[in-house]
Amino acid sequence: MQAFTYYMPTRVICGRDCVLSRGALFAELGRSALIVTGKSSAKNGALADVLSALEANGQTATVFDRVTPNPTVACVREGVALLQAAGADFVVAVGGGSPMDAAKAIATLAVQPRSDEEVFAGGYEARALPMAHVPTTAGTGSEVTPYAILTNDAGQTKTSITSSAMFPRLAFLDGKYMAHLPVSSTVNTALDAFSHAVEGMLSRNATPMSDALAKESLRILYPLLQKTAGELTIDERDELLYASMLAGMTIAQSGTTAVHGMGYSLTYFYGIDHGRANGLLLGGTLRLCEKKKVPALEEILSACSDTLDGVCATLDALLGQRESIPRARLEEFAVRAMSNKNIKKSAYEPTAEEVKTIFFSAFPAS
């Protein structure tokens, strides 16, 4: 038997109105919450549900609603300052991956202060304020991972910080908050989840448990992925959210691979949404896996019940018109990607030339 460990300490609560019906669970986290969120949670009902659950428990709350996509260290510092001024002793994240990741960094830096130069230096102790997460997008799976991905301006990329204490204590999953999530965000976040499940299976750190989670994620996610460009019912939103969580549980064990490592340049320099950036690079990656006869490819396709051409056609249809990026820039991104630790974590470990080919195949020549 392959030797492996499995650790996923987050209590997951799924179901319609679960923040309200199981809100008593927040009581175990502390007296006073810092709610970390963006602007949309005030409109989709998630913030109101969290505030009433906390009030019913007699807990106080301070709202920090200034998290923007691809959160920066400055944003995290603003959150830590507000947390300390308010005397909050736990954190509730409400939103997509950006507020969830900002919340993890706030909960960690509040008890382990770091200078700007040291934020990305690693070596965090397993200490953070307790957290509950309420995802309002279905894609990142951040509610069940120990990673916070922040914009790293010094490195001109996005970099994750991690410790086992960054797993939230609680994750509440309810697709109703996504009723009005725009089509483009639905597609892009679903592509992120798909990428997590696929990359988990292509990782050198895959385990029997992470593969089982990834296959179940793909079985549910792939048919839904094809529907994300149209109207989804709330039940389908629930399913998407569940599949995204399974994909998050996958990467919590396996980590991500070259696709994520390469996509960060597309987001940092061209502002391309995180999930879309991964989606743009996936087709070329899967074709390389076929060329290199990577065994996991067959298992991925079987979990999707589709062929390689079929999966690539699905991705193409969802991605639509691709951005135009000069070849010289793509060559520069390929060089950057080669220094990312994710390259070596990939079972198909791409060469510098192969990374360049994937970038070139993702964008029309300009």
Residues that bind ligand NAP (CB under 6 A): 38-41, 44, 69-70, 95-98, 101, 136-137, 139-142, 145, 147-149, 158, 177-178, 180-181, 185, 189, 192, 274-275
- Binds 281, which of ligand NAP, Fe ion, none (CB < 5 to 8 A, cut-off by type)? none
User: What is the smallest separation between the CB atom of 57 and Fe ion, expressed in angstroms?
Assistant: 32
**Residue type at position 304:** C
Q: How far apart are CB 181 and ligand NAP at their closest, in Å?
A: 4
Q: 205: exposed, middle or buried (C-beta count within 10 Å: 0-12, 13-18, 19+)?
A: middle
Q: Running DSSP on this structure, what letter comes out for residue 116? A: G
Q: Judged by CB, which is closer to Fe ion: 174, or 192? A: 192
Collapsed DSSP state (helix, strand, coil) of residue 59: coil
Dihedral, 45, 48, 51, 57 alpha carbons, nearest 10: -80
Q: Which does 340 bind (CB under 5 to 8 A by kind): ligand NAP, Fe ion, none?
A: none
From candidates 143, 192, 216, 273, binder to Fe ion by CB under 5 A: 192
Q: How far is the CB of 309 from ligand NAP (least distance, A)?
A: 27
Torsion of CA 15, 21, 24, 30, to 10 degrees: 60
With contact defined as beta carbons under 8 Å apart, do 248 and 274 qualify? no
Residue 101 partner contact from Fe ion, ligand NAP, none using kind-dependent CB cut-offs of 5 to 8 Å: ligand NAP
Nearest by Cα to 254 from 299, 195, 335? 195
Least distance in angstroms from the C-beta of 160 to Fe ion: 10
Nearer to ligand NAP by C-beta: 144 or 301? 144
Q: How far is the CB of 203 from ligand NAP (least distance, A)?
A: 14
Q: 30 or 69, CB closer to ligand NAP?
A: 69
Residue number, 75 or 197, with CB nearest to Fe ion = 197
Least distance between ligand NAP and beta carbon 199 (Å): 10
What's the min distance (Å) between Cβ of 154 and ligand NAP? 17
| Cα–Cα distance for residue pair 55/77, rounded to 1 Å | 27
To 10 degrees, the CA torsion angle through 50, 54, 57, 62? 180
Q: For residue 158, what is the enclosing H or E element?
A: strand 157-162
Which is nearer to ligand NAP, 101 or 239 (by Cβ)?
101
Which CB, 192 or 354, lies closer to Fe ion?
Answer: 192
Nearest alpha-carbon partner for 196 in 136, 246, 133, 146: 246
Q: CA 83, CA 68: separation in Å to the nearest integer? A: 18
Q: Which is nearer to ligand NAP, 191 or 296 (CB)?
A: 191
Shortest distance, position 229 Cβ to Fe ion, whole Å: 20
Residue with tokens 């709610």: 35
List the interface residues with Fe ion, window 242-271 (CB under 5 A).
Answer: none
Is residue 199 a contact point for Fe ion (CB under 5 A)?
Answer: no
Cα gap 129→119, rounded to integer Å: 17
Nearest CA to 46 out of 55, 56, 37, 57 is that of: 37
Alpha carbon 318 to its chain centroid, in Å, reads 19
Of the pair 192, 211, the CB lying nearest ligand NAP is at: 192
Rule CB under 5 A: which residues touch Fe ion? 192
